[in-house]
């Protein structure tokens, strides 16, 4: 067996409307389908596959603890091809009142970290076109550096 790519992520969410405001309205995933019975769920896609994200509303549930713990750490969403695009996204997040938790230069990519309405960490990133990680995959483990954007 050989994995081809990560197909989708499924999140249980407290409030599907708030989650759609984040993933659809702010991040820009398109809604490709939904249903309300036996529970509310919405499938979203950026166009790469039938759905990259599925949200299932479960209502109020205990929040997982922050910091290092067993389970999902974050999801990464590619938002473009350049630092200029990432800088534009940063400014859009600020205008939208979204708190930026951090920004990092990972050598192979540059990232902004935020949280969705349920506290899940979301990495918005661009790959560095100048870095040849396909021929030198160990670059993915390069030391993390601070990222400064306009």
* Residue closest to 120 by CA, chosen among 4, 47, 18, 3: 18
Which domains, from first to last, does the chain contain?
1-60 (3.10.180.10), 73-150 (3.10.180.10)
68: pLDDT strictly greater than 90: no
pTM: 0.89
pLDDT at residue 6, rounded to an integer: 85
pLDDT at residue 118, rounded to an integer: 92
d(CA 51, CA 66): 28
pLDDT digits (tens, 9 = 90+) for 90-110: 999 999 999 999 999 999 999
Question: SS3 for 106-124, per residue?
Answer: CCCEEEEEEECCCCCEEEE
Q: Per-residue pLDDT averaged across 119-125, rounded?
A: 94
């Amino acid at each position: 067996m050989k994995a081809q790519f990560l197909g989708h992520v499924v999140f249980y969410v407290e409030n599907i409307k708030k989650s759609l405001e984040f993933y659809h309205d702010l991040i820009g995933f398109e809604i490709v389908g939904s249903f309300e019975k036996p529970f509310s769920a919405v499938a979203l896609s950026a166009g790469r596959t039938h759905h990259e994200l599925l949200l299932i509303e479960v209502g109020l549930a205990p929040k997982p603890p922050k910091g290092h713990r067993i389970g999902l750490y974050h999801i990464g969403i590619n938002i473009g091809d350049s630092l200029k695009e990432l800088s534009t996204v940063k400014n859009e997040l600020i205008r939208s009142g979204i708190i930026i938790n951090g920004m990092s230069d990972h050598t192979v990519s540059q990232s902004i970290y935020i949280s969705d309405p349920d506290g899940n960490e979301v990495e918005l990133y661009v790959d560095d076109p100048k870095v040849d990680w396909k021929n030198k995959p160990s670059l993915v483990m390069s030391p993390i550096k601070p990222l400064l954007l306009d």
